[in-house]
Amino acid sequence: MTIGSFLKKNKINEFLEKNNMILKGDRVVLGLSGGPDSVCLFFVLLALAQEYELEVHALHVNHCIRGKDADEDQEYVESLCKEYEVPLKVVKVDIPALSKESGRGLEEEARMARYAAFEEYAAELDTEGHTAKIAIAHNADDNAETVLFHMARGTGLDGMCGIAAKRGRIIRPLLQVPKAEIMDFINDNQLAYCVDETNSQVEYDRNRIRHNILPELEQINPKTLEHISDMTARLTEVAEYISLEARGLLEIAKEEGDALRKRALMTAPRVIATQALKEYLSRFMPEQKDVSASHIEAILGLLNEDGERQVHLPYKKTLIISYEKLYVIDEDEKSSEKSEPFSDFSYREFNYEQGMKYPVETYTKWFDCDRITDNVVIRTRAEGDYLTIDSAGNHKSIQDYFVDEKIPRHLRDEIPLVCDGNHVMWVVGYRISEYYKISNNTTRVLEITYGGTEHE
């Protein structure tokens, strides 16, 4: 099988154009491990280079996992690139050491290191108006394994879509090509390649799927891979539509800052709200997969609850489902921002004369000095605190006041209170007590200002 017949049989050009993978003049970084898949893609890109005027570069990552075997893989890749005059960059990463430090598994640590190296090299090759592409040699078998793996572990629509043909600058030209076709091309042309013996060890979940489950499915139907590929393509279209609707919902629900209106999510179709929440929460996470289905289900279940609710998220973040909106707080940022909260108050006392104009600013208030019975203290809430809410002298506890005003629970211990014993004179930023208001009997005024003009 020649490279030309391989491209034609597997409809590589049509697949590239359908997914808008490459443009004329692109620079492409090939992830070249030395395995049969990446070697096949190496020759595919060389064959396409003239037609698309491609500039092909290769990147090999030595994970330092397999000792001498890994070094031999590197030597093979270096000789292959030298023979065909393809620029090569080699990156050595001590994955075992990184894995031990991070606590992640070797496979996950290696994957993260590879993609970080790919992105870094591609960024070096970017030109003005032209983003370098990263070509990865995933094939149809890899896609099917991924779908089955996600199904076994539990997944939503995104997991059932399998591996993306294109994501950002990453392209996968061989994604619809069965592994058997790749091996036929390799063997027909007597091309050397490296063998990673860990790929045959069935104690790894993906290898168990590859060697045990997929062959059984192909006994049921030889077109299993084709059907899984078709299914993931259709589901990807569905997912893209839902994602488009979800982004529209997020725009409708958008509140000041990063908050969302709760009602907009409550009244949306559940499938759209689910995706909207996933996309919203992923803004606060390193990766979208950090937002699990259990987080989304917990949030959806609380949207119709009264009062305030919280859902704890990874990376010390918490989603606050408040009375009318929801938003994410970061516990680390919250604690780092805490400073001396009551150092920004100023006071003055003066005689009151009838006809004086009261201040209308939110953060400057006047109080009747003659009604103050204790030392004025500025602090946060304490047990027994109350507020006089009307001219008849009726009281309300600060706890009830906060609830009635729908003040989020995580803010209640941060709001400064100006207090005369347990009698709250001023809930700063909100209201003052009726008891301390200026009247015709007032002779002396205590003026308190918080934060100066920056708060007015």
Question: Is pLDDT of 454 > 50?
Answer: no
User: Checking DSSP bridges between strand 444-450 and strand 364-368, what pairing results, if any?
Assistant: antiparallel
| Average pLDDT value for residue range 9-22 | 93
Q: What's the rounded Cα separation, in Å, for the pair 356 and 377? A: 26
Q: Where is 217: in which H helix or E strand? A: helix 214-220
| CATH 3.40.50.620 domain position(s) in the chain | 3-217
**Residue 417 pLDDT grade (very low, low, confident, very high; cuts 50, 70, 90):** very high
- Alpha carbon distances (Å) from 8 to 13, 179, 243: 8, 16, 34
Residue 453, pLDDT score: 42
CA-based nearest residue to 438, from 330, 344, 343, 357:
357
Which residues have C-beta within 8 Å of that of residue 248, sequence separation ≥ 6?
none
Token representation of residue 251: 């725009």
Sequence-separated (6 or more) residues with CB below 8 Å from residue 315: 284, 285, 286, 290
**Could you tell me which of 291, 300, 297, 294 has the C-alpha nearest to residue 266?**
300
56 three-class SS: strand
CA 256 – CA 262 distance, rounded (Å)? 13
User: Mind listing the pLDDT tens digit for each residue in 325-349?
Assistant: 899 988 766 555 554 556 788 889 9
pLDDT at 341: 57
CA distances for 198 relative to 69, 100, 144, 175, 205, angstroms: 11, 19, 19, 22, 12
Mean pLDDT (the chain) is 89
CA–CA gap between residue 120 and residue 105 (Å, rounded): 23
Q: Which residues of 122-132 are buried (b: 16+ CB within 10 A; e: fewer)?
A: beebeeeeeeb
The Cα–Cα gap between 161 and 164 comes to 7
How far apart CA 253 and CA 262 sit, in angstroms, is 7
Tokens 């970017």 sit at which residue? 126
Query: What is the structure's pLDDT at 355?
Result: 84
Write down the CATH number for the domain with range 254-336.
3.30.465.60
Pairing of strands 260-261, 309-313: unpaired
Architecture of the domain made up of 3-217: 3-Layer(aba) Sandwich (3.40)
Tell me the residue type at 278. K
Q: Where in the chain is the domain with CATH 3.30.465.60?
A: 254-336
First-residue to last-residue Cα distance in the chain: 77
Give the per-residue pLDDT at 413.
85
SS3 category, 20: coil
What's the confidence (pLDDT) of residue 455? 45
C-alpha 40/C-alpha 54 separation (Å) is 17
In the predicted model, is pLDDT for residue 206 greater than 90?
Answer: no
pLDDT band at 172 (very low <50, low <70, confident <90, very high): very high
Q: What's the pLDDT score for residue 438? A: 93
pLDDT digits (tens, 9 = 90+) for 131-157: 999 999 999 999 999 999 988 888 888
Q: Whole-structure pTM over 0.75, yes or no?
A: no
Residues 159 and 150 sit within 8 Å (Cβ to Cβ): yes
Inform me whether the pLDDT recorded for 214 exceeds 90.
yes
Nearest Cα to Cα of residue 199 among 217, 219, 179? 179
Q: Which residue has the tokens 């606060």?
A: 284
Q: What is the CA radius of gyration of the chain?
A: 32
Q: What is the model's pLDDT at position 68?
A: 87
What percent of the chain is predicted at pLDDT more than 90?
63
User: For 369-414, what is each residue's pLDDT tens digit?
Assistant: 999 998 898 999 999 999 999 999 999 999 999 988 888 888 888 8
Please state the rounded mean pLDDT for residues 111-123.
93
CB contact at 8 A, 75 and 92: no
pLDDT in tens, 241-289: 999 999 999 999 998 888 999 999 999 999 999 999 999 999 888 776 6
**Residue 301, pLDDT above cutoff 80:** yes
* Token digits of residue 450: 């918080």
Distances (CA, A) of 212 to 203, 208, 215, 234: 11, 5, 6, 26
Specify the residue for token string 């076709």.
181
Q: CA–CA distance from 12 to each of 75, 113, 152, 369 (Å)?
A: 29, 28, 31, 85
- Whole-Å CA distances, 438 to 365, 369, 442: 10, 9, 6
| 106-124: average pLDDT | 91
> Of 227, 264, 215, which Cα lies nearest the Cα of 143?
227
CA 337, distance to chain mean position in Å, is 23
Per residue in 73-98, pLDDT tens?
A: 999 999 999 999 999 999 998 888 88
Residue that wins the pLDDT comparison between 219 and 292: 219
